[in-house]
């Protein structure tokens, strides 16, 4: 009796598992269609995320990284952001240089793919200002952000990367960006789900081929616009 029940349960589980495995490539294809719908039909490059008063900030905003221990720079003074790829002038920008560039601050709602939301203030330089300074070539269609957190990375469509609220953030809630949230520099954008916002940045590369990303390559939606 127990054996038979176990057999049915095993068969059902195996059946479900093999069905799911058979469906996976199809599901990923449909996910690419959804990326296209999100990027080409629903996304507006001029629609701005709502800003909140600082009194609405969330007290405890969770942080995460994929390294076993919190990623920290051995020599913060030597850190540079490398900007290269399809640009006329590749750059190595220090934190001071980034802070002297046009500054954007906003208090916005963060949407995590898990379903939680949290409000924080972020301070940084728009990616569009960096793109202007490195003299982006017309062939560029994507931006690829890479971190020193075990190689965590994200590929972005250019339109989202150049959105006025997409910034390279060096500050959070009126303070320097803490290591728990990606110090010294992280990507921030209220137009995307949290996992698209690369922390612990080391480089920004403009390309004409769609770059993947840490979670994206494992099956999470690539566009992930909210």
HEC readout, 16-73:
HHHHHHHHHHHHHHHHHHHHHHHHHHHCCCCCCCCCCCHHHCCCCCCCCCCCCCCCCC
Alpha helices in 134-176 (DSSP H): 158-161
- Structure tokens that stand for 135 in this block: 């003299």
The residue (of 34 and 173) whose beta carbon lies closer to other proteins is 34
Q: How far is the CB of 20 from other proteins (least distance, A)?
A: 7
The residue (of 9 and 100) whose beta carbon lies closer to other proteins is 9
* Residues in CB range of 160: below 8 A, 6 or more apart: 39, 43, 166, 189, 191, 192, 223, 225
Taking the C-alpha atoms of residue 130 and residue 136, their distance in angstroms, rounded to an integer, is 9
DSSP SS3 for 85: strand
Q: How far is the CB of 107 from other proteins (least distance, A)?
A: 14
Q: How far is the CB of 184 from other proteins (least distance, A)?
A: 25
Contact 86, 206 (CB under 8 A): yes
The residue (of 103 and 109) whose beta carbon lies closer to other proteins is 109
Q: How far is the CB of 179 from other proteins (least distance, A)?
A: 20
The residue (of 62 and 102) whose beta carbon lies closer to other proteins is 62
Q: Extract long-range pairs of 174-177: CB within 8 Å, 24+ residues apart.
A: 174/121, 174/123
Q: How far is the CB of 182 from other proteins (least distance, A)?
A: 18
- Structure tokens that stand for 2 in this block: 């127990």
Q: How far is the CB of 30 from other proteins (least distance, A)?
A: 4
Q: How far is the CB of 27 from other proteins (least distance, A)?
A: 4
The residue (of 85 and 225) whose beta carbon lies closer to other proteins is 225
The residue (of 111 and 136) whose beta carbon lies closer to other proteins is 111
**15-47 burial code (b ≥16 CB/10 A, e <16):** eeeeeeeeeeeeeeeebeeebeebeeeebeeee
The residue (of 14 and 137) whose beta carbon lies closer to other proteins is 14
Summarize as ranges the residues that interact with other proteins (CB under 8 A): 20, 23-24, 26-28, 30-31, 34, 38, 42-44, 47, 49-50, 58-62, 109, 111-119, 190-191, 215, 218-221, 225-226
Radius of gyration of the chain, Cα coordinates, nearest whole angstrom: 20
């Amino acid at each position: 009796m127990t054996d038979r029940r176990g057999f049915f349960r095993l068969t059902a589980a195996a059946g479900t598992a093999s069905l799911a495995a058979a469906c996976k490539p199809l599901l990923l294809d449909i996910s690419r269609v959804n990326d296209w719908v999100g990027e080409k039909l629903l996304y507006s490059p001029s629609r701005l995320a709502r800003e909140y008063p600082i009194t609405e900030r969330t007290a405890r905003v969770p942080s995460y990284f994929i390294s076993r221990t919190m990623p920290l720079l051995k020599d913060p003074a030597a850190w540079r952001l490398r900007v290269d790829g399809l640009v006329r002038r590749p750059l190595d920008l220090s934190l001071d240089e980034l802070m002297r560039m046009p500054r954007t601050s906003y208090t916005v709602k963060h949407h995590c793919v898990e379903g939680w939301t949290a409000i924080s203030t972020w301070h940084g330089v728009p990616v569009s200002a960096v793109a202007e300074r490195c003299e982006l070539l017309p062939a560029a269609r994507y931006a690829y952000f890479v971190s020193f957190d075990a190689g965590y990375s994200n590929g972005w469509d250019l339109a989202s990367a150049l959105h006025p609220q997409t910034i390279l953030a060096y500050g959070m809630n009126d303070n320097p960006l803490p290591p728990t949230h990606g110090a010294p520099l992280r990507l921030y954008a209220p137009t995307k789900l949290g996992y698209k916002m690369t922390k612990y940045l080391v480089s920004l590369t403009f390309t004409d081929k769609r770059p993947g990303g840490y979670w994206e390559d494992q099956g999470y939606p690539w566009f992930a616009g909210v």
